[in-house]
Amino acid sequence: MKKTYPLHVEGKHPDRLLEATKHEIRKYIKREQNKPRPAGVDFWDFDCRFGSSPATAELIPMAALTERINAYAAEKADSFYVELLAKPGVRRPRPATGADEAEVND
């Protein structure tokens, strides 16, 4: 998904427009996560780019997307650009630590 979202539209309340935008992004993520995964893939991961325009968009962690959107809305920006690209993700096993082993043995 590559889209520029306006934050100010004539006749629409900015808060409702902001919530509708976040809802659309969450709905897209949920729809992508429900797609069948290829063999050997544990989950769908996302590359997320965010900025005021496609040319200025920078790579950000997926967890920071909502707070970035809120920050742009607080700055009274006119619009923002979001690019979400799904990619296969594989879980890595957690390394065993001495503290965890000691608790298991007790």
Instruction: Report helix, strand or coil for 46.
Output: strand
What is the value of pTM for the model shown? 0.82
CA separation, residue 98 to residues 50, 91, 92, 93, 103 (Å)? 40, 22, 19, 16, 9
Condensed to tens digits (0 to 9), the pLDDT of residues 15-72 reads 999 999 999 999 999 999 999 999 999 999 999 999 999 999 999 999 999 999 999 9
Type of residue at 87: K
Condensed to tens digits (0 to 9), the pLDDT of residues 63-75 reads 999 999 999 999 9
Quote the pLDDT of residue 11: 95
pLDDT at residue 100 greater than cutoff 80: no
| Dihedral-angle region of residue 78 (phi above 0 means left; psi in -120 to 50 means alpha; beta otherwise) | alpha
